Every structure is written in C-alpha cells, then in structure tokens.
Chains A and B, each alone.
Chain A
Amino acid sequence: MKGISASPGVAIGRVFVLDRRNRRIFKTYIAEHEVESEVQRLRTAVQKAGEQIQAMLRSMPDELREHIAILETHQLMLKDSMILDKSIDMIQRKMVNAEWALDHSLNHVRRLFGHIQDTYIRERIHDVEDVVARIQDILSGTQGIPMEQHTNPVVVVAHDLSPADTIQLNRKNVLAFVTEMGSRTSHTAIIARSLGIPAVVAVAGVTKYVFTGEDIVVDGITGDIFIRPDEDIIAHYTDKQACYIQHRQAMLLQSHLPAVTADGFSVSVQANIELADELDVAIASGAEGVGLLRTEFLYVGRNDLPSEDELFQAYFECVKRMSPKPVTIRTLDVGGDKFLSSLPVSPQTNPALGLRAIRLCLKEIDLFFTQLRAIYRVSAFGKLRILFPLISGCSEIQQIKVHLNSVKEQLRAEGIPFDEDVKLGVMIEVPTAVMMADLLAKEVDFFSIGTNDLIQYSMAIDRVNEHVAHLYDPLHPGILRMIHRSAEAGRLQGIQVGMCGEMAGEPAYTPIMVGMELDEISMNADSIPKVKHIIRRCNAGLCRELVNRLLTACTSQEAREILEDFLGRYLPDERQLTHPYLCDAARH
C-alpha cells in the first residue's frame, strides 16, 4: 500500500492499531440505590485520568515541551463543569450509567462548538473528545493508548491521530506512524519529523487491512508500506534502514557546514518560515538565513488588522533570533488562496488572477504602509530585506518606491531610526516579470523565483484542479528556460538571485539550482540538511553542463531522462534522497 511520505526513515516491526472510532457506548439504567456509587465511579475515573495526564506531563521529552499546553488544557477540561457536573447531573436525574452520561455531555459540547466560527477554537473539540475518551476507557477498563505497558516498540496505525495522541505516545516505543488521514503539514507529520520517527499518512483504508500484532514495513522515504512482508522484503528494508540511519547521521553532523560544491561554488541555503517558533528548527537544520518569512499568518484567523506595533514585535522576534543572519520579509500575499475576514474583497471569479498580493497592498495603501513602517522600524535592529510578491513588471516597483520614500520621510520626521539601505527584492512568479527581468534587475537588489506560482501562471495550470494537476511539472523545458533566463538577467546586472518555491527544497533538483548558478535557495527547514548534502556532492561545472542539456530538451519526459541519467551517473550514493522524486515522476 502507498501513502504520502510525511517523515523520512524506515521502520520494520509489529503493528499496534489505535482506533477510537469503534468505541461502543451502551446505555444502561441503574437503580436508585446505585446512583451514589455510579457518581463515585465517575469521579474516580476522572481522578485517574488526571493522574495519567500528570504522569505524561512529567515524562514529556524535551523536544515536545512546547506542546505541554495541550495536556494542561486537558487537565482543565477533565474537571470542567460542562463535562463533570453535567454528567453527574445526568446520572442522578436519568439514572443512567456514567459512560452514557459522558457521551451525552460530549454531544452537548459538540453542538455548542459546532456554532463557533473561528476554526482554531472549533477544532479544540478534538481535545474534548480525547479527554472524554480517556475517562470512558478508564470506566470500561480498556486502556486507550496502553503504549506505556508495551515493552516492545510498535508501529502505530490509526485512522487519524490527534495532537494529544501523537505527543502522549511514548516515543521510545513508537517505530513509525501510519495514518489514513493527514498530509505532509498535518500535526502528526510535523511532530514525527521533529522526533525523527518515520511516518506515512493518507494511506486509504489501512486500518481495515492490518491487525494489532502483525508485521509491517514502513518506508517513510517513499511512502510505501508492506503488511505481512515476506523475507525478501524484510531483508531489503533492513539494508535500506541501515543505510538511511548512517546517511542521516552524516548529514546532520554536516548541516552546519557551508554548502560548497567540490569545485568551490557556494550556495546560501536558507529557510522558509511562517512563525518565530520555527526558527529553532531552522537554525538547528543549518539555515544560513530566512529566505522567505511569510507574513499572512499574522493576518488570518482574526476580525481586525494587526497594528504596526504587533507587526513590529513579530518581525523583531525573527530578526533578533536570526541575527546576524539575514531575514527576508515578504509583504502580505493574500487574495489568491488566503482571504482575510478583516478585509473583505468582493468575490472574484478567478482569485489567482484577481486583487491579490502587491495589487491589494497598492490599492489598500494603509495596509501597505503599516507593514512598511513596521519593517523599516525593525531594520534598525538587524539584517533584513523586503520581498514584494506578484510583481508583473517595472511599474509596480516604481510605485512601491514612491511609497517607500514617504515611509522613510515619515520615520525621519518622527525621529525613528532605520536602515537607509534596506535591500529590496521581487518575486519572479509572473511570466511577464521573467520577460522583463533584465530591466527589473536594474530596479531592485535581488530576485526570488517563486516556482509554485510561476509554473501555475505560465503553464496555465491550477494545481488544485484534479483534472490538470498531473500536468504541473517543474521539469517542463519552458519552466527551466524561464528560471534560466531570470537567473542570467540577475547575474548580468550583478544582483542576487534566489529561489523559494517548493522546487528549491527537492534534493533531486538541487543540481539544477547549482547549474543555474543561483546565489541562494530557500526551503522548509527539514529539506536543508539534505539539500546541503547534495550541493557538497555536486561539481558545479558538471551541473552547468546538465543545465545546458536540459535547455535543449523538447519535452518534460526528455528533461526527466536527462536529469535521471545525471543523478544515476554522478550522485548514485544519494539515491535515497533523490528517490522520492523518482517515485513521484513514475506516477505521472
């Protein structure tokens, strides 16, 4: 079976199926003289549940300390009047068993939460469900997650894992996670990656095919899983596991070293981040700066716009913690796939081509000024650059510069210090920006090629549309030529050229980045050690030849064959890093 690889690594072991959906709660009427003892039974179970959570809090490994708040919230929910008092009341008035009374209280809370508009708060219902399930497990004598008792480590297979499930599983006993739900960005995936445990998500129907105690092989690199594997498969994956572990240790040891090719070409490898919380992981992975700080997070999930001071605080936090390494702040990019309740725009039939990103900022000028003022104020405290999204040509950058001058004048008049020489850059993601790259390069200090939108706009493909998504291809020769053209225009003008799209974080494409002579590439933190490793194994001269050959390719298929030939010939030992790409390509 196959799913999405969510955290790399190979695991071979026994299955433990964690399935809460099959819990059956029966309604039982109790006699009047039993009411008191039933209430006591519930209180004892709640008490025990509290002790269990307390024990987990005490044994929480350091890597997960930031998630402690989830369990502390569970402690409060456990004794909440809406759960405990309501259930006791139900036992007393309706003379039913504690399990049923709890179910009734939970359904009441579910109804109330269902009306909450804020998704973050509404999803806390899963925490309430977790807490109630824990009490019910104690009442019924079954243990929800008896992982603590498992002496042998297991592969946890589940329909879905809540954040609380994932963090409370004793990680020493978990070899891997396999779930039916989830994506690369779901909580299980993020935690699995931070713990270095292999995980495969989105494996349809897996809980129906596998039972607790059976053998399983999980390949978190490719997303393959094998239930009841034969000896050959086990032997093959035992080898693969050993290679992977050796490989990863070598990579992590070197992640702080600069990424320089065998023949001396160096690339600055940086991190794409959204929250200051991600900085620790980025720095630990060897990021040489933040190549893309997405700022949309500061705006979504609220009814008003953030103030200048709030933005200042958020940017300051990142710049301070990253110092002396640079942070590239991208101005607000909403309107395409993210929308703000604080700034309603009339419905657009095609939002990707509508009022979004820089267009929205240039129209709602207060929105733009607040960001620019906050960014310039932070510039006095560390090294930062500003990146403008969705630039289609020189006129936008000229308009932006007029506004920048007003902002600087304001700050000077107010006596607020700032860096006069903040570097300005544009995203290269609209096809006309590629065509104008030679002239744009005279207006700005750096380019950042955003491949996700560049591919979508230039190939006229909506990635979310299942009928055409398979045509989306970074190896389309037209795309490679656009990247090449932009990089060359920047180089001729002597400005820095980088890439921050998904393509930048894919190790199989790294030789192309080197061959295009990009100055910097920015990606999710977990790709950084892999990409740095590949760069060190590359020879820039050979990579330039690779690019020259790719530029002559007629079709994506031809380009793919040229790349695979290169990887097989010059990077055969790095197959485990480039292999997921090869598997994806095979699926196309």
Chain B
Amino acid sequence: MSNEIHVTIENRLGLHARPAARFSQLASRFASNIRLIKDGKQVDAKSILEVLTLACPTGTRLTIAAEGPDELEALTALQVLIETGFAEYD
C-alpha cells in the first residue's frame, strides 16, 4: 500500500537549490520510502541531487508517493512545505 498527493510548485524560482535542499532534508526525516514523480519520471525524494535533476520550475505539477510506517505524516509535512512556498520569500 502506498499513498500519494499532487502538488504544484508555486515559489518563484521553482525547486532550486535551496528549496530542493529543504525538501530532501525534510523527506529524509521519515522512515518511509518517498518518491517524487514528474511526468512519469520518478526520483528518490531524499536525494537532493535526484530532486535537482528533475528540474521543476515554478508551475510544475508533481506527485509525491510515500510507502512505509509514517507515510501519511511524511506526505502532510512535505505538502505543507511546498504550499507555504518553502517558508521563505525567495
């Protein structure tokens, strides 16, 4: 069983170095296996390098899929991070 959510990247510069760092850092705090999916391409959400190679400018629609003991917690936390524009004005 796995759960997934759909999100849209809305901060101005997209998933650039700093937001990507915060994203993978937060993902790493959960035990679940977390994948980031864009147009059918999947990467490990805990790897900043993989997240960067996905190249997500602002407006990109993404799916986050999580599977594991804390999957719902992880998805909620990541969703909040994205929806608050990574808690920074950049």
Q: Which residues of A contact B (CB under 8 A)?
A: 69, 72-73, 76-77, 80-83, 109, 112-113, 115-118, 120-121, 124, 127-128, 298, 301-304, 306, 310, 313, 317
Contacts and interface: CB of A to CB of B under 8 A. Distances in A.
A500 to B, nearest CB: 26
Given A76-B25, A313-B89, A121 B16 contact: yes
B13 A76 contact: no
B40 to A, nearest CB: 16
A302 B55 contact: no
Contacts of B24: 76, 80
Contact of B12 (A77, A109, A306): A306
B53 interface: yes
Contacts of B48: 73, 76-77, 80
Nearest to A298: B12
Nearest to B24: A76
Interface of B: 12-14, 16-18, 21, 24-25, 44, 46-50, 52-53, 55, 57-59, 89
A120 B25 CA distance: 20
B53 A113 contact: yes
A120 B48 CA distance: 15
A112 B18 CA distance: 19
Contacts of B55: 116-118, 121
B59 A310 contact: no
Contacts, number: 69
A76 B59 contact: no
Contact of B21 (A69, A298, A310): A69
Contact of A81 (B14, B21, B44, B52): B44
B53 A116 contact: yes
Contacts of A313: 89
B47 A302 contact: no
B12 A310 contact: yes
A80 B16 contact: no
B57 A118 contact: yes
Nearest to A314: B12
Contact of A120 (B13, B21, B44, B50): B13
A117 B52 CA distance: 11
A304 B49 contact: no
B53 A112 contact: yes
A72 B47 CA distance: 14
A253 to B, nearest CB: 34
26 contacts: A73-B17, A73-B18, A73-B48, A76-B21, A76-B24, A80-B24, A80-B49, A81-B46, A81-B50, A82-B50, A83-B49, A109-B49, A113-B53, A115-B53, A116-B53, A118-B14, A118-B57, A121-B17, A124-B52, A127-B17, A302-B12, A302-B14, A302-B58, A304-B58, A310-B12, A313-B89
Contacts of B47: 80-82
Contacts of A113: 52-53
Contacts of B16: 120-121
Contacts of B18: 69, 73
A80 B52 CA distance: 12
Given A77-B48, A80-B47, A109-B49, A302 B21 contact: no
